[in-house]
Amino acid sequence: MAETLLEAMALTKVYRVGNHMVHALRGVDLTIERGECMAVVGESGSGKTTLGNLLLGIEPPSAGVIRFQDREMPAKRGRELRRCLQVVQQNPMSTLNPKRTIYKSVSLPLAVHNLVPRGEIRERAAELLRIVGLSPDYLDRYPGALSGGQRQRVALARALAAEPDCIVLDEPTSSLDVSVQARVLELLVELQQRFSLTYLFITHDLSVVRNISTRVAVLYRGRVVERGATESVFAAPRHRYTQMLLSSIPVVSEDEERIKPDWSWDKEMAGSDRVSEVGCAFFPRCPYVLDTCKSKLPILGDEDSEHLSACHNPG
């Protein structure tokens, strides 16, 4: 039986920028089951990092509830709750302190959370480096002496050090070269299997999560517009926006080639800031738009169904 580890209910975040309101998240419902890799996909600005930050407790939600292991997360999280959720961010240069040795970064969570006896901290830090495929020789080096891929491995070792229940991976490979990206992804898959990890995998690139995620949620302008098992979403995407995202990645089968819509006109619309406050946020960019789309917000639908989309005219 699946165990729901983390749950977002109607999660909302509004930022005030001057006298302007930015609606980063508009009522997101999402569950993460223990042991799965839940992918959150969407283009830049869709609210992915905001969602991760709210779940991590880095920022408070404007409205909505976060539940962890069936309990509502308190506004102020204690040390133990902070340990349970760890993050690996896109740019490890900004998250690893350049003035700290790798040993310092990786051993900090071990000491803060009392995870190993004092005398064994160094040994455990060395082991964590080995687990992420780095030689313990790196312990006394500084982040500046490492490549991007190596730094991301260190960030992962630091996250693992805390023995978390869930790791939020926020574009963990986006800053890396393609070949390095593939190796870090392989490592993520290997670690997930080896330690039964739970991931929330955030990316703008659907192709990255194809072989790693259990389920996919597609975010568009702060709303989940489609959610389902990865296979189902890739084989039969329903929302026109998901189809658009898929159309920009290489296809692997003729079935997929057939459902690829012609989005060439979208290039002009992509930069459009027009967002409907009443209808579907995607309608200004959608070639399948109906009158209803302009006046009525499509909702994601029945919670019990495994593959949902918020679209009045799905494919």
Ligand X SMILES: Nc1ncnc2c1ncn2[C@@H]1O[C@H](COP(=O)(O)OP(=O)(O)O)[C@@H](O)[C@H]1O
Positions touching ligand X (CB under 6 A) are 15, 17, 22, 24, 42, 44-50
Closer to ligand X by Cβ: residue 24 or 160: 24
Q: 89 contacts which partner out of ligand X, Mg ion, none, CB within 5 to 8 A by kind?
A: none
Q: 45 contacts which partner out of Mg ion, ligand X, none, CB within 5 to 8 A by kind?
A: ligand X
Among residues 49, 95, 105, 247, which is the contact residue for Mg ion, using CB under 5 A? Answer: 49
CB of 130 to ligand X, least distance (A): 32
Closer to ligand X by Cβ: residue 48 or 215: 48
Q: 22 contacts which partner out of ligand X, Mg ion, none, CB within 5 to 8 A by kind?
A: ligand X
Per CB under 5 A, the segment of 43-51, 103-111, 233-241, 302-310 that binds Mg ion is 43-51
Closer to ligand X by Cβ: residue 174 or 313: 174
CB of 209 to Mg ion, least distance (A): 15
CB of 181 to ligand X, least distance (A): 18
CB-nearest residue to Mg ion: 49
CA distance 38 to 29: 13
Q: 314 contacts which partner out of ligand X, Mg ion, none, CB within 5 to 8 A by kind?
A: none
The residues in 279-298 that bind Mg ion, with binding defined as CB under 5 A, are none
Q: Using CB under 5 A as the criterion, what x/- string covers residues 82-101 for binding Mg ion?
A: --------------------
CB of 64 to ligand X, least distance (A): 15
Residues that bind Mg ion (CB under 5 A): 48-49
